[in-house]
Amino acid sequence: MLVKLDHVKKHYATFDLDCTMELAEGCITGVIGRNGAGKTTTFKLILDLIHPDAGEITILDEPVSKLNTKKREQIGVVLSDSGFSESLHLEAIARILKPMYHTFDPADFKKQAQAAGLPLRQPLSQFSNGMKAKAKLLMALSHHPRLLILDEPTAGLDVVARDEVLDMLRAFMENEQAGILISSHISSDLEGLCDDIYLIDQGKVKLHESNETILSEYGLIKVNASQYEKLDKDYLLAVEKEGYGYACLTNQRAYYQENYPGIVVEKANLDRVLTIMSRGESK
């Protein structure tokens, strides 16, 4: 197991995190949730930036607090609001990374940067948001890690650039021992990339499901009040009151399509799963 969180708790004044999560080799796991749900807190716990109040965190089969520098070299990180000082340029960053990572090749890094259209001697402060996002990912990949922890790596990228980034991540996963833990507000990126999804809301894991199951078996049922009264609620995960009646999330879309031919049953996507699980009433 690349990452394992076992009943990890962290208390803050505004919310409490209580999280159990795993990332296996060869998998890409997505984490979704509203702003302030606890995604970044979870990532910071995994990266030993903050200390848990309870629970165990294991990274690359070691307790996170005992991770040595050799194992830390196997982790590549992208954080949405943090990086190298923006007064540095990529050539300077290459000089910093070279002694830190045994597997870092400055020539290869510079070649990749130039191929991505990133200037080597321009300070990061003069990069666009998209360029900064690409640079961060390149730095994370440059030392051939085994584990990638990516907090919103595609934020600020246009569609074409996002596609290029996702291709880089798919190429990274050709190593079957590797794994990616990724959070993003762009659900379509995660739908096309991830093997499984964790939904975090108010510090708790509200949902953990394979991406394939969500896309093939989850459904959104739209009913008015009288239809809702007659609906079998055994397979409803969450219900949200809407202007027309109720929007209901189910993980048994086929059941409702067969047994309630008169009601609207749509395929669910990650955005709708997130909004109903976060705002609706859980069943």
Partner 1 sequence: MKGLLVKDYLMLSAQKRFMLLALIMMIVISVSANNGSFVIGYCAFMGSLMGTNSISYDDYNHGYSFLMTLPFTRKEYVLEKFIFCLSCVVLFSVVGALIALVGQMMRGLNETYLMSFGLTYLILIWIAFLIAAIMLPVQLHFGSERARIAFAIVMLSLFVLVIGGIKLTEGLPIQLDPIFSQLSLPLMVGVGIGILGVAFALSYSISLAIMQRKEF
Which residues here bind partner 1, judged by CB under 8 A? 44, 47-51, 69-70, 72-73, 75, 77, 79, 81-88, 92, 95-101, 149
Residues 6+ apart with CB under 8 A from 112: 138, 141, 142
Cα distance from N-terminal residue to C-terminal residue, the chain: 31
Nearer to partner 1, 87 or 226 (CB): 87
Nearer to partner 1 by C-beta: 72 or 162? 72
Instruction: Give me the least distance between CB of 4 and partner 1, in Å please.
Output: 18
Q: Give the nearest distance from C-beta 114 to partner 1 in angstroms.
A: 21
Taking the complex as a whole, the smallest distance from the CB of residue 72 to partner 1 amounts, in Å, to 4
Smallest distance from partner 1 to CB 167, Å: 24
**Considering beta carbons, is residue 137 or 270 the nearer one to partner 1?**
137
Question: Which residues have C-beta within 8 Å of that of residue 245, sequence separation ≥ 6?
Answer: 222, 223, 224, 225, 227, 228
Least spacing, CB of residue 225 vs partner 1, in Å: 48
- Between residues 85 and 114, which has the closer beta carbon with respect to partner 1? 85
Strand partners, 223: 246
Q: To the nearest whole angstrom, how small is the minimum distance from the Cβ of residue 179 to partner 1?
A: 16
Q: Which is nearer to partner 1, 79 or 238 (CB)?
A: 79
Q: How far apart are CA 168 and CA 6, in angstroms?
A: 30
Q: Which is nearer to partner 1, 104 or 246 (CB)?
A: 104
Q: List the structure tokens of 104.
A: 């870092």
